[in-house]
Amino acid sequence: MKAQLNATMDLAIVGYGRMGQQVAQLATAHGYAITHAINDRASLDAAHFAGHELAMVFTPPAACVPALRVLAERGISAVVGTTGWYNHLGAVERLVKDAGTGLLWSANFSVGVHLFWRALRHVAHTMHAANDYDVYGYEAHHQHKVDAPSGTALRTADILLDKLPHKTQLVTALPERALHPHELHWSSIRGGSVPGTHAVVFDSPFDSLELRHTARSPTGFAEGALAAAAWLQGRTGCYSMDAFMNATFFHEKQFCESP
């Protein structure tokens, strides 16, 4: 299952780290023009946009909202892969609306991860009635990843907390005591060159069920980000990756789901 990419698209990369470089490399392979590779606020302020570019934003969390403000003021739509800024989502939605631009955000642009989340919603709803099963999660990433848990892990945990009423609190560092039944434990592993693995385990005294997504390379994330950018072209307003998935793969009504 693969989204169609536009034949032409000019992109500005804002946040030229590992992910920004991966997207730029793949975009060039698809024949897209990279008009800017921006890695600091001064370069963003000094950038001369033609007005038709679309920005791919992979800044550190603290720099994200200021960068989105500059882009909106310049009339530039954006696809945002930065996490850790979602408590400002309402303010960013107002910026985008006032500017008449478009914005699409996601903690993870992998199409497979979004299929994983969709499946997890159904599985968690089913497992709610199975009282013998406890649930926990884990994730593994390369040694260079700076956040733990990952944004994808936190999104996965949110789905579980939403679908399993008996789980009400996420625990990411084990306390010096046994866990309480209402606590959902998530563990993070960092090392080597692991692109990303996320798993949810339903465990009982009798057996265990595991739902897991394993990325083979960062290319899947970059492909998804570019497909989302192609879809956003010509649209105004704020969208989650769910809107892209629903419209592109499931032909459902678009919506903007909160993180």
Q: How far apart are alpha carbons 239 and 202 in whole angstroms? A: 32
Q: How confident is the model at residue 1 (pLDDT cuts 50, 70, 90)?
A: very low
Cβ neighbours, 10 Å, residue 111? 22
Confidence at residue 256, expressed as pLDDT on a 0 to 100 scale: 47
10-14 and 54-57 as β-strands: parallel, antiparallel, unpaired?
parallel
Q: How confident is the model at residue 107 (pLDDT cuts 50, 70, 90)?
A: confident
Confidence at residue 250, expressed as pLDDT on a 0 to 100 scale: 78
Residue with token string 């989502």: 89
Q: Which of 36, 114, 141, 213 is catalytic?
A: 141
Q: Which of 88, 97, 128, 145 is catalytic?
A: 145
CA end-to-end span of the chain: 25
Please state, rounded to an integer, the average pLDDT across all residues of the chain.
Answer: 91
141 catalytic? Reply is yes
Q: Which of 65-69, 152-156, 247-251 comes out lowest in average pLDDT?
A: 247-251
CB 199 within 8 Å of CB 137: yes
2 catalytic? Reply is no
Q: Which of 47-51, 178-182, 228-232 comes out lowest in average pLDDT?
A: 47-51
Q: What residue spans in the chain does CATH classification 3.40.50.720 cover?
A: 10-109+218-250
Q: What residue spans in the chain does CATH classification 3.30.360.10 cover?
A: 112-214
How do residues 152-168 score in pLDDT, each as one tens digit?
999 999 999 999 999 99
10-109+218-250 is classed in which CATH architecture? 3-Layer(aba) Sandwich (3.40)
**Topology classification of domain 112-214:** Dihydrodipicolinate Reductase; domain 2 (3.30.360)
Q: What is the 3-state secondary structure (H, E, C) of the chain?
A: CCCCCCCCCEEEEECCCHHHHHHHHHHHHCCCEEEEEECCHHHHHHCCCCCCCEEEECCCHHHHHHHHHHHHHCCCEEEECCCCCHHHHHHHHHHHHHHCCEEEECCCCCHHHHHHHHHHHHHHHHHCCCCCCEEEEEEEECCCCCCCCCHHHHHHHHHHHHHCCCCCEEECCCCCCCCCCCEEEEEEEECCCCCCEEEEEEECCCCEEEEEEECCCCHHHHHHHHHHHHHHCCCCEEEEHHHHHHHHHHCCCCCCCCC
Q: How confident is the model at residue 7 (pLDDT cuts 50, 70, 90)?
A: low
